[in-house]
Structure 1
Amino acid sequence: MSVSKVAERERLDPAFIRLALVLITGVLAVVFDTTVVNVALDTLARDLHVGVATVQWVTTGYLLALGMAVPVTGWLIHRLGGKRVWLCALALFLAGSVGASLAWDAPSLVAWRVVQGIGGGLMLPVLTTLLVQAAGGRSLGRVTALVTFPALLGPIFGPLLGGLIVQHTSWRWIFWVNVPFCVVGLLLAWRLMPAFPGTGRSRGRQTPELGAERQARNLPAAATEASEASQPAESRLDAAGLALASPGIAAIVYALAQVGADGGFGHPTVLVPLLGGLALLVAFTVRSTSIGDRALVDLRLLRVTSFSAATGLLFLSGFALYGAMLLVPLYFQQVRGQDPFAAGLLIAAQGVGVLASRGIAGRLTDRIGARPVTSAGLVVVALATVPFALATAHTPEWWLVAALVVRGIGLGAVTIPVMASAYLGLDRAAVPHASIITRTAQQIGGSFGTAVLAVALERTTFDAAFWWSIGFTVAAVVLARWLPNRPAQPSAP
């Protein structure tokens, strides 16, 4: 096959680009909201006349609702179709944003944040599911670069936007900022999104192109078997599975959010919900494995080596990304004496690095495979964190900012190939299950990474906490050896 034909086959379809722009417009509201609100917590506590412990529920309630909503997205897509789920989720997030902006006290604000969390929890995995399904298994590296693009903008512009709003206007504008994205996103989705009907009700249904796709792309048998196993058995909701998974995820996220406030993992307010959440997820795992395709989330996908490795790496990325997002701004403020807005400007350097590498990381993933790109990115992240671990009072600030740019380049080279390899070889019906698993791994991993590094910082020093972050990044390098070592061949159109 000629190079021109290969390039034409791998080129992203204009209809796919249009769909991506529609979905990204809506999800930007979720991305910015998460980072903007964190900047305003101190102002919220003062204006609403509550303590830090109460106002923290503005963030905690949102995260709990988000975590509890994620497991049901696969069933909703199967039952209602992707477009309807997306429109409903975006409308929920819009209603929660307007309600939060009009909140009259702390409890009402927390309640509307829960509504936002439900909408956001549905939107994030639905975004990934619809784009990966629309791509049909082709050019997964570049597809993932588009999927992850909104998440990169939040850490760059969110803190800056939040700082400007809090400093110059009322905190209520933090939630009004979401409204234009939601309204425009709803209009575009209503007019331009295809129907994305549910995947059907028949038991054991197999798509006819699955065998041909496996031969064309030379996929391992385990991937095809897991994909076939994930064909939906019926449209009935696995209520027992939902009753185990959603509270289990919420309990773990809540426990990890309490680690920093309560001084470690051994405190009862941390240990009890953590153990309870783990017990619920273990019960969910046992039950889901036993009932197979009737489960809320088909965990048999974890039998695929590349998928389980990608899921583990997404969990560990919480230490490299979210944990460091805790350490770096605190370091610039507490050690370097910067104000929050200046610290946000300095941290934006890392986001610039991520944006710079995302395009080439996607193309390299499609050409040479996920393993070499991910391994190289993790090494870059680890090396670029070393200057912070070795920094002294005399270390030039420009050197640390340059390290953040390089660190961002490494992070961009990690996230994209890992996400792409998670969907390699999976059939259309398996994608919603994969989106739920990967999203849950990211959320719990981010909470766990933040909690561990918060405890390390409380009990040691900044340099020791940065060494912890470097250690977990090195551990991820070992795990990356189980990722695919060859590019995915595009399937026939």
Structure 2
Amino acid sequence: MTAEIREDPPPAPAAASSTGFPPELRRVIIVAMLGGLVVMLDSTIVNIALQTLSADLHASLTVVQWVVTGYMLAMGMVIPVSGWLARRLGARRVLAAATAAFTLASLACGLAQNTEQLVAFRVLQGLAGGLMTPVGQIIIVRAAGPRRLARVMALIGIPTIMAPVAGPTLGGLLLEHASWEWIFLVNVPIGAVAAWLALRMLPHDAQEEAGTLDVPGLVLVVAGSVGVTYGLAKVGERGDAALGAAWTAGGAVLLGLFVLRSLRVERPLLDVRLFRNPAFSAASLVTFGFGASIFGGMILLPIYFQVVRHESTVATGLLLVPQGLGALASIWASGRITERFGPGRTSLAGGVIAVVTTVPFLFISADVPYPLLDTGLVARGLGIGLSGMPAMTAAFNALGRAEIADATPQLNVVQRFGASVGTAIFAVVLQHGLDGAGGMASRQADAFGTAFAWVLGATVVAAVPTVLLIATERRRSARGSDQ
């Protein structure tokens, strides 16, 4: 969630619904969230089509996965400049332009003739989508004001919650009754309406002093992130290990230079000094790990259901619903649980649940009963939903109000980078296993178990730092009681 929190004056009295939101605010929420929902759906709807794309475009999974990785990576790259563009050009204009660009890129994806074109257009789609979500959130939070912020922030999370539930199911229906092109073309009418509504219904906002964009920092972080992600994907390909290692090392060097530069300039693209705060560093590691675990892990099960169990795309989409429902239920309850036990303890509990419930997937077989599999998915969704948002809450609690505007895009970037890295690594591990399976269902299932071992590693990476969140909360509480 990326938003600039400002102390706006209380809005003029207006007729409100039972939720307490006046009509003007409801319109802003609906319009801004419409674009956000489409963007998040496109983060998950393609997962179910990877096997179809691999067959139709005559490409391996390690190549086709860039349809997902490129999109996620591109989104993460523009998030740092979203706030700067909103101040420089006005949030309403940026949202409308980004929505129009996303719509055109979706059309181009639907018309793509090969994998290279599709990946390129998906990158353009991701660049536009990476602006739509944070800028839409800026508009919503500004319209809400401080008094309604808590309830509005809960609504902002709905697209993220609904995407894992609706994305695979919608993708399956489109693949079953139309073709893979329609998982992109379906965005065109929705995006056109969203862009028109943004211009007609969102409040006009004045341009602000944005300062000079940190272009060198942007180039370093983009090139470094692409280098690391591309390198990790190449490391596992036969004959490309040395090239992949070189790309990974080069990307790591560029990211290191970005950090060093950001520590020296007055107004860096991302304020890496925030990582000196232990709570923020821990929350960032939690966010990175769960970004890999959630989005990267989501490419595995759709392929499992289609390759090993020979399910249709519609059935595959429906079989993926339980994990989303589990996450939805836990996120719904996480606010109250966090208020009672604290964000650190809540995040730790969710992390432990996510780790424990990922372990059974290491032993996934070709004939595991679906009720047992669905139970595991619901339980894993509960853990994931219970850990992510409380971790971000703990980070914000440890920061000053002036640091929130820098912290929110950084956490979003970390999550997207984790998702990109996870997707690249898990796809390579899975492809290696499937290549050696010889078409035998039992050995194919073993390949998925191996890939889930890497998912488990990412989940552990996310769960361990939650202990530090508890420690920082205790120290802050002790300082407060001494005053």
Check conservation: 2:71, 2:123, Cα contact below 8 A.
Answer: yes
Q: CA deviation at 1:150?
A: 0.9
- Alpha-carbon spacing, 1:326–1:94, altered in 2? closer, same or farther (3 Å): closer
Offset, 1:173: 2.2
User: What residue ranges of structure 2 are gaps of 5+ in the alignment?
Assistant: 1-18, 434-445, 478-483
Deviations 1:32-60 (A, max 9, x none): 22333343455556666777777665445
What is residue 252 of structure 1 aligned with on the other side?
228
TM-score for the superposition, normalised by structure 2: 0.79
Matched with 2:281 is 308
Task: Give the 3-state SS of the residue equivalent to 1:291 in structure 2.
Answer: coil
Cα distance in structure 2, aligned partners of 1:325 and 1:182: 25
- 1:34 corresponds to 2:10: no
Cα distance, 1:133–1:263 mapped onto 2, change above 3 Å: farther
Take 1:77 and 1:432, find their aligned partners in 2: how far apart are those partners?
12
1:300 and 1:77 mapped to 2: Cα distance? Answer: 23
Quote the offset at 1:422 in angstroms.
3.6
Matched, 1:281 2:217: no
CA separation of 1:89/1:257 partners in 2, compared to 1, >3 Å: closer, same or farther?
Answer: farther
Q: Aligned-pair distance for 1:27? A: 1.6
Deviations 1:63-88 (Å, cap 9, x if unpaired)?
45334323322321232232222222
Aligned residue in 2 for 1:155 = 164
TM-fit CA distance, 1:314? 0.4
**1:464-475 map, 5 Å:** 464-475=450-461
Q: Is the 8 A contact 1:155 1:351 kept in 2?
A: yes
Report the more deviating stretch, 355-364 or 429-438: 429-438
Q: 1:477 aligns with which of 456, 460, 463?
A: 463
Which residue number in structure 1 is paired with residue 270 of structure 2?
Answer: 297
State the Cα deviation string for residues 293-345 of structure 1 (Å, max 9, x = none). Answer: x2122222222332222111101113431343234334444554544443332
* Change in 2 beyond 3 A, CA 1:362/1:41: same
Question: 1:357 pairs with 302, 315, 330, which one?
Answer: 330
TM-aligned CA distance change 1:99 to 1:330, over 3 Å:
closer
Question: Which digits, 9 at most, give the CA deviation of each residue in 1:321-379, with x for residues without a partner?
Answer: 13432343344445545444433321211001111222211233345431121111112
Cα separation, partners in 2 of 1:17 and 1:407, compared to 1, 3 Å: farther
Q: Secondary structure at the match of 2:269?
A: coil
Instruction: Tell whether the 8 Å contact from 1:58 to 1:110 is kept in structure 2 after alignment.
Output: yes
Of 426, 429, 433, the match for 2:406: 433
What is the SS of the residue equivalent to 1:236?
Answer: coil
Identical aligned residues as a percent: 43
Q: Secondary structure at the match of 1:290?
A: coil
Report the Cα distance in structure 2 between the residues aligned to 1:29 and 1:398, rounded to whole angstroms: 30
**Partner of residue 217 from structure 2, selected from 221, 225, 241:** 241
Q: Contact 2:32–2:137 at 8 Å: present in 1 too?
A: no
**Aligned partners of 1:469 and 1:121: how far apart in 2?**
25
- Deviation track 1:151-197 (CA, whole Å, cap 9, x = no partner) reads 22222222222222223224332222112331232233223333454
The match for 1:86 is 95
What is the rounded CA distance, in whole Å, between the counterparts of 1:32 and 1:429 in structure 2? 32
Contact 2:169 2:317 in 1 (8 A): yes
* Conserved 8 A contact 2:426-2:454: yes
Aligned residue type for 1:237: L
Please name the residue that 2:12 is paired with.
none
CA distance in 2, matches of 1:338, 1:193: 44
Q: Is the 8 A contact 2:355 2:463 kept in 1?
A: no
Letter in 1 for 2:183: I
Pick closer, same or farther for the CA change 1:463–1:301 going to 2, 3 Å. Answer: same
- Distance change >3 Å, CA 287–CA 180, structure 1 → 2: same
Aligned in 2, Cα 1:453/1:94: closer, same or farther, shift over 3 Å? closer
The one-letter code sitting in structure 2 at the alignment partner of 1:192 is: M
Answer yes or no: is the 8 Å Cα contact 2:282–2:468 preserved in 1: yes
The one-letter code of the counterpart of 1:168 is: H
* The 10-residue stretch of structure 1 (114-123 or 419-428) with the greater mean CA deviation from structure 2: 419-428
CA distance 1:337–1:433, shift in 2 (3 Å): same
Q: Which amino acid is the alignment partner of residue 418 of structure 1?
A: A
Residue 345, structure 1, aligned to residue 321, structure 2 = no
Q: Is the 8 A contact 1:333 1:340 kept in 2?
A: yes
What's the counterpart of residue 6 of structure 1? none
- Aligned partners of 1:64, 1:471: CA distance in 2, in Å? 21
Residues 43/113 of structure 1: CA separation in 2 closer, same or farther (3 Å cut): same
Which residue pairs with 1:270 in the alignment? 244
CA contact (8 A) 2:234 2:243 kept: yes
Q: Distance in 1 between matches of 2:60 and 2:293?
A: 31
Aligned 1:63-142 pairs, distance under 5 A: 63-103=72-112, 108-131=117-140
Matched-pair contact (CA < 8 Å) for 2:48–2:303: no
Q: CA deviation at 1:440?
A: 1.6
SS in 1 for 2:263: helix
> What CA distance in whole angstroms lies between the structure 2 residues aligned with 1:86 and 1:340?
33
Paired residues of 2:48 and 2:302 also in contact (CA < 8 A): no
Alignment CA distance shift 1:64-1:409 (3 Å):
closer
> Unpaired segments of 5 or more residues in structure 1?
1-10, 202-233, 489-493
Flag the 1:387–1:448 CA change in 2: closer, same or farther, 3 A: same
Give the 3-state SS of the residue equivalent to 2:46 in structure 1: helix
1:423–1:125 CA distance, 2 compared to 1 (3 A): farther
Kindly tell me: are residues 242 and 453 of structure 1, through their superposed partners in 2, closer, same or farther at Cα, counting changes over 3 Å?
closer
- One-letter amino acid of the structure 1 residue matched with residue 409 of structure 2: I
Deviation at 1:259, TM superposition (A): 4.8
- Give the CA RMSD over aligned residues: 3.5
1:20 match? 29
Using the TM superposition, give the Cα deviation of residue 481 of structure 1 relative to its aligned residue in structure 2, in angstroms.
2.5
| Mean CA deviation greater in 103-112 or 472-481 | 103-112
Aligned-partner Cα distance in 2 for 1:109–1:393: 32
The answer to whether structure 1 residue 164 and structure 2 residue 173 are counterparts is: yes
